[in-house]
Amino acid sequence: MPLFGNSFSPKKTPPRKWASLSNLHLLDRSTREVELGLEYGTPTMNLAGQSLKFENGQWVSESGSFLGDRRELQRLRKRNQQLEEENNLLRLKVDILLDMLSETTAESHLMEKELEELKQHSRRKK
């Protein structure tokens, strides 16, 4: 026998109103995905006027001109190699010129030193 009367009995909750006034819940799944943006599609980007999309873990040109892209890539690689070779040649020339400058400077200092010694020697004779 309970001390305070009847056992605990909560009140029944009233029925809920519609959760939303939107009619999107009435649409089928594919329409909802389009309307709500649940279908993202493939990521795309535009670089230097070229449109690329991400497929199977790689960025692929949307224009589909793979041969043109490969030719351009080969041309750029060849040009890059030529510029690197030219850069190496110019660095070598700069190193040679610096060596020549340091050698000429050292010779000039030696000649100035000899000239001073000759001047001092000629003053002593007088």
* 10-29: burial string, b at 16+ Cβ within 10 Å, e else: eeeeeeeeeeeeeeeeeeee
Whole-prediction pTM: 0.43
Least confident window among 1-5, 41-45, 59-63, 67-71:
1-5
Q: pLDDT tens digits, residue range 12-61?
A: 887 777 566 666 666 777 777 777 766 667 788 887 777 888 888 887 87
* 36-74: burial string, b at 16+ Cβ within 10 Å, e else: eeeeeeeeeeeeeeeebeeeeeeeeeeeeeeeeeeeeee
pLDDT reported for residue 40: 67
pLDDT reported for residue 70: 75
pLDDT reported for residue 52: 83
Structure tokens at 26: 């009435």
pLDDT reported for residue 66: 52
Pick the residue with more confidence: 4 or 95? 95
Residue 75, SS3?
helix
79 has a pLDDT exceeding 60: yes
68 has a pLDDT exceeding 80: no
